Amino acid sequence: MSSIASVASAAADLGASFGGQLLKPADEGYEEARKVHNGLVDKRPALIARCRSVADVVDAVALATKLGLEVAVRGGGHNVAGRATIDGGIMIDLSPMKGLLRNPPVVIP
């Protein structure tokens, strides 16, 4: 398991290329972002990666692998058992990924 300082340092390194939002425990918005539907679940991720693209998800998984951290994936946060969050790992929050980009079909003559 990585220290809070190493997670913060790695998040800062990733921050410039990350299109979403990276929230550490001391950051504004962290407390609200870590909540799930079941109020009895009170887990504290080392980092919350609020992904806006597939590239953000790839970067978050790579960061977790580099730091040796476990990952929890949050879609809507409605799992009763609280599997959308994790203590000490990285929560990959997909909730900002609300849109769909469709490429027009290619017509081959």
Tell whether the torsion through CA atoms of 73, 20, 24 and 69 is positive or negative.
positive
pTM of the model: 0.84
Count of residues in the chain: 109
Strands 90-93 and 71-74: parallel
Instruction: Kindly tell me the burial class for residue 109, based on how many C-beta atoms sit within 10 Å of its own C-beta (0-12, 13-18, 19 or more).
Output: exposed
pLDDT in tens, 34-90: 998 888 999 999 999 999 999 999 999 999 999 999 999 998 767 788 888 999 999
Which structural domains are found in the chain, ordered by start?
4-93 (3.30.43.10)
